[in-house]
């Protein structure tokens, strides 16, 4: 595999493999509407970091990996910078990503995106699709 060049950060390490479809993440009831939460899953290839944003009955998943430096958007859940249903911003240099598609529309990595991670909600449980 090759590393994708990014704005300002040179090349980043490849992320760990995402967990298999059906792997549970959390109960949707654990996420407030308009809220978000970060998760870490151990994998053979390292840690897979997931960001989940909830809008009503829907949950949007993204790799928690800022395209600028390849680091998580925040160190702790309480430090996530969210504008409910609109955007999430990186704690480090404040790049802003659209809620709906993870596209960076402001900051050091404009034009790049948080990679989408398909999620399902089945019987109230958020899981990898």
Instruction: Indicate whether 114 belongs to the interface with ligand FES (CB under 6 A).
Output: no
Site for ligand FES, residues 26 to 65, rule: CB under 6 A: none
Sequence-separated contacts (24+) of 87-94 with Cβ below 8 Å? 88/36, 88/51, 88/53, 90/66, 92/66, 92/68, 93/68
Q: Which of 19, 48, 51, 69 binds ligand FES (CB under 6 A)?
A: 69
Instruction: Indicate whether 79 belongs to the interface with ligand FES (CB under 6 A).
Output: no
Identify which of residues 50 and 126 has a Cβ nearer to ligand FES in the complex: 50
Q: Which of 80, 95, 114, 127 binds ligand FES (CB under 6 A)?
A: 95
CB crowding 25-50: b at 16 or more within 10 Å, else e:
beebeebeeebbbbbebeeeeeebbb
Instruction: Indicate whether 72 belongs to the interface with ligand FES (CB under 6 A).
Output: no
Q: Which of 7, 26, 71, 81 binds ligand FES (CB under 6 A)?
A: 71
- Give the separation between CA 108 and CA 48, rounded to whole angstroms: 23
Give just the sign of the alpha carbon dihedral 111, 117, 120, 124: negative
Q: Which of 17, 93, 100, 116 binds ligand FES (CB under 6 A)?
A: 93
Name residue, tokens 């990503």. 97
**Interface residues with ligand FES (CB under 6 A)?**
66, 68-69, 71, 90, 92-93, 95, 107-108
């Amino acid at each position: 595999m090759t590393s994708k060049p990014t704005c300002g950060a040179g090349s980043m390490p490849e992320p760990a493999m995402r967990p298999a479809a059906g792997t549970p993440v959390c109960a949707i009831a654990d996420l407030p509407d308009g809220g978000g939460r970060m998760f870490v899953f151990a994998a053979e290839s390292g840690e897979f970091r997931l960001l989940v944003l909830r809008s009503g009955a829907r949950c949007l998943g993204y790799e928690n990996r800022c395209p600028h430096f390849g680091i998580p958007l925040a160190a702790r859940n309480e430090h996530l910078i969210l504008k409910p249903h609109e955007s999430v911003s990186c704690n480090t240099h404040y790049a802003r990503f659209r809620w709906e598609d993870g596209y960076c529309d402001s900051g050091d990595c404009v034009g790049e995106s948080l990679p989408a991670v398909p999620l399902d909600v089945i019987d109230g449980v958020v899981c990898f699709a």
